[in-house]
Amino acid sequence: MKTLTKIQIEKYADVLIWALKTVRTNFKKYDTILIRCDLFGLALGEVLHKKLIEQKYNVIFRTLYTPVLEKDFYQYSDEYQRKYVAAGEKEFYENLNGNIYINAPASLTNLKDVDPKRIGEVAISRKFLRDITKKREEQNLFGWTLCTFPTEQLAK
């Protein structure tokens, strides 16, 4: 599969920043922006990170689970582990100003054998974090955007 050129990745990052600033027009220096990125989208995430740092934002960068880590978590965790939310997450989301999600899946079927109830437990336990960002978005304190970065799995 042909990958994006460096120039295309730079332009993609520019579009994501434009989108983020369009949904929330009052970003200011040192606002906190989270980049969540699948590993196959790392090239875009790195460029985006640099551009946001240069614009004087505080950038938090989190990579997402690989397909193996994600499947292992849902397959081998108990209910307590699936409902666990790390200390500080609530406070983090209460102070977050932006979120950019780079979807670049390495697998589209890694969870096909996982009980949907297990996936639902995680979603329900983290719903309060989405509620925080939704409330902040309504107050124009938070904005978000997302994209899909081309991967081999998406091309199949």
Give the pLDDT of residue 156: 83
Under the banding of pLDDT at 50, 70 and 90, the label for residue 56 is very high
* Chain mean position to CA 96: 13
Percent of the chain whose predicted confidence (pLDDT) is above 70: 99
Domain 65-156 sits in CATH 3.40.1830.10: yes
**What sections of 4-125 are H helices per DSSP?**
6-23, 42-54, 67-76, 79-83, 89-94, 116-125
Model pTM?
Answer: 0.94
Under the banding of pLDDT at 50, 70 and 90, the label for residue 1 is low
For residues 72-97, average pLDDT:
98
Nearest to 99 by CA among 30, 17, 29: 17
**pLDDT above 90: residue 94:** yes
For residues 14-24, average pLDDT:
98
**pLDDT above 80: residue 100:** yes
Give the pLDDT of residue 59: 99
What's the whole-number average pLDDT of the chain? 97
Give residue limits of the domains in the chain: 65-156
